[in-house]
Amino acid sequence: MAVAEPRAMKRRPVYLNLAQIRLPLPGLLSILHRISGAALFLAGIPLLLAGVAASLASPESYAQLKSWLSNPLAKLVLIGFVWAYLHHFCAGIRYLFLDLDTGMDLPSARRSSVIVFAVSLALTLIIGARLW
Amino acid sequence: MVKLRQTVGAHYGLKDWLIQRLTAVVMVVYTLLLLGVALWNGGMQYATWRGLFDHALFKLASFLFMVSLLYHAWIGMRDIYMDYLKHVAVRLTLETITVLVLIAYLGWTCQILWGRT
């Protein structure tokens, strides 16, 4: 890329003060997509496997897991992972549409990012309320 | 597209880009399937849940979901490392650990799905 368009490399504004950057909504969606993905890898996958293993092993271990998850702190953590999965899921579907060249203009891209936040947060609320 | 192609067997990431999307689609389908089963049964008691995982086809679908998830996680984590870790030794170390952990998760998945319970 650098070889093909040397002029584009010249004098771009660089402003990387993390404390002052105000991301537009699609930018916030993007960084949360990355953060939720990393969290799902670091803690989500091992917890998922441990949870599924315990839930399937025996009726006793299923009941044991259920009683652990009745702890309010455990519920909050679980709801956190539900949100991470749903945000990553919805934002990912948005990216699939963008890859298909759908909704590429700025107003559409902003609207779809609003939809991603609305849907993922609403579903988190519904599932969270059921879990609680 | 990249114009100057290096003759060092360099991969330009198109394959990974595509796999990242295909594995995502597999996971969307499985998630909706599981959600549908849960809604159909009005929740998941132990017997329903265990019975679901006793189906050979559901085991296979779960396995394909996990393979997709682990491959997807690899590409995503590799992208994050490439963006933030400029020190080659640090990056290579973390990439190696990540691959080993993901392969271990696949082994764990097989044990859960087909192992002696």
Evaluate whether residue B50 is within a structural domain: yes
pLDDT digits (tens, 9 = 90+) for A25-46: 999 999 999 999 999 999 999 9
Q: Are A29 and A103 in contact (CB under 8 A)?
A: no
| Predicted pLDDT at A18 | 79
Q: Tell me what the pLDDT averaged over chain A comes to.
A: 91
Partner residue opposite B24 with nearest CB, options A40, A46, A96:
A96
pLDDT digits (tens, 9 = 90+) for A40-95: 999 999 999 999 999 999 999 999 999 999 999 999 999 999 999 999 999 999 99
Evaluate whether residue B2 is within a structural domain: no
| Predicted pLDDT at A1 | 43
Which residue has better confidence, B55 or A6?
A: B55
Is residue B32 classed exposed, middle or buried when 0-12, 13-18 and 19+ CB atoms within 10 A define those classes? exposed
pTM of the model: 0.87
Q: Are B6 and B41 in contact (CB under 8 A)?
A: no
User: CATH no. for residue B91?
Assistant: 1.20.1300.10
- Residues of chain B in contact with residue A38, where contact means CB-CB under 8 angstroms, are 76-77, 80
Map out the domains of chain A with their CATH numbers. 26-131 (1.20.1300.10)
Residue with tokens 């597999």: B26
| Interface-testing mutation among B33, B108, B110, B111, with chain A (most A C-beta atoms within 10 A) | B108
CA distance linking residue A12 with residue A9, whole number of Å: 7
Evaluate whether residue B6 is within a structural domain: no
pLDDT digits (tens, 9 = 90+) for B22-37: 999 999 999 999 999 9
Contacts with B, A 40-69, CB within 8 Å:
40-41, 45-46, 49, 52-53, 55-59, 62-63
pLDDT digits (tens, 9 = 90+) for B60-105: 999 999 999 999 999 999 999 999 999 999 999 999 999 999 999 9
Per the structure, the complete domain to which residue B71 belongs is given by 14-114
Residues 6+ apart with CB under 8 A from A76: none
Evaluate whether residue B9 is within a structural domain: no
Count structural domains, chain B. 1
